[in-house]
Amino acid sequence: MQRRHFIASTLAACSLPMVHAQSPLPSGPIRIVVGFPPGGGTDVMARVMGQKLSVMWNTPVTVENKAGAGGVIAAEYVAKAANDGTTLLMTNISNHAIAPALYPSLPYVVERDFTPLVLVGVTPNLLICNPSQPARTLKDIVELCRAKPGTVTFGSSGAGASQHLAIELFKLRANIDALHVPYRGSAPMLTDLIGGQINYSFETMTSATPQVASGKLIAIAQTRPQRSKAQPNVPTVAELGYPGFDASTWYGLAGPARMAPAMVQRMNEDFNKVLAMPDVAEKLAGYGAEDGGGSAAKFVDFIAVEKEKWAKVVKEAKVTV
């Protein structure tokens, strides 16, 4: 009897290290789904994170672009995926904060169908234009829109995207009328902006920065309450006569609903480690991405505040798609 008890106790003790050593992470390849074409801010953030996670987890982490409907197509896809951690969403303001107010029959419920994992970063949008535009200050743009209501064009990466709602918020605050021109992604919109086919855009700093740095586009204003460290010489819209104006774009990682708590905790810890890497921090800062990291619970609270804020803008501006 004692011998049997000893053997059972020994086997139990030997099994403990194996239990502790077992990783809560997925055993197979992982996809980060992006709701916009390659080249935009969401895509860039996903690739920065994916490259580091592939090395850290010693497993392929790939980015899959499923563009359309302001990120809603990608969000729906991930919401319906298995909650084993192999399919994640690089979510953003469009599909998690704006879409719920904009689409009456949205195929998912943010609070019910996702597991928020971490806030990757918050960036300003940049009000940008082609150097040949005659109106290159915020004051002049407002005057131009009042002189030619409904004809001055502002491009976006798509209906319901952050650029679109930044335009609508600015129209409300400045009491102007302007024409929104939606594209299928930031890349074609920027091509037309550089070529002069459209006049302006409140583009994400992530994708606008390279074009501004090259001199192909001019940065007129930025849309967070304080100036980004990446663009310290570009004034905020708030500074230029619209106190409190805030039309930030943000990015974060989420998975399907009801992911295992141990997996959520481990992923959140590793995401924070990646965000703290000096080269990652430097790259994100260069794109104006700040205030990322923290717990999954912090990201849940952040999303709730953003949803409420943009629901008010959609209602007041009577935005439809």
pLDDT of residue 12: 40
Contact of 163 with 181, CB cutoff 8 Å: no
Average pLDDT over residues 281-294: 93
- pLDDT of 9: 37
| pLDDT bucket at 7, cuts 50 / 70 / 90 | very low
Percent of the chain beyond pLDDT 70?
Answer: 93
Residue 47 has a pLDDT of 96
User: In the predicted model, what is the mean pLDDT of residues 22-48?
Assistant: 91
Residue 244 corresponds to which tokens in the numbers above? 């409190």
Whole-number Å distance between alpha carbons of 23 and 98: 36
Confidence class of residue 15 from pLDDT cuts 50, 70 and 90?
very low
pTM of the model: 0.85
Structural tokens at position 20? 């502790």
- Cα dihedral 33, 37, 39, 44, rounded to 10, equals -10
- Count CA within 13 A, CB hemisphere, residue 223: 26
Lowest mean pLDDT among 35-49, 217-231, 255-269: 35-49
Cβ–Cβ under 8 Å, residues 189 and 155: yes
Whats the size of the chain, residue-wise? 321
pLDDT, average across residues 170-187: 95
225-235 pLDDT, tens digit per residue, is 999 999 999 99
- Spell out the residues 6+ positions from residue 225 whose beta carbon is closer than 8 angstroms to its own: 236, 238, 244, 245, 246
Domains recognised in the chain with CATH numbers: 30-122+249-317 (3.40.190.150), 125-222 (3.40.190.10)
pLDDT for residue 43 is more than 50: yes
Residue 148 has pLDDT above 50, yes or no: yes
What pLDDT sits at residue 41? 86
Question: Which residue in the block uniquely carries the two structure tokens 């919401």?
Answer: 79
Once rounded to an integer, what is the mean pLDDT over residues 209-215? Answer: 95
Q: What is the pLDDT of residue 20?
A: 40
pLDDT at 13 > cutoff 90:
no
Over residues 59-74, mean pLDDT: 93
pLDDT at 69: 85
Confidence band of 198 (pLDDT split at 50, 70, 90): very high
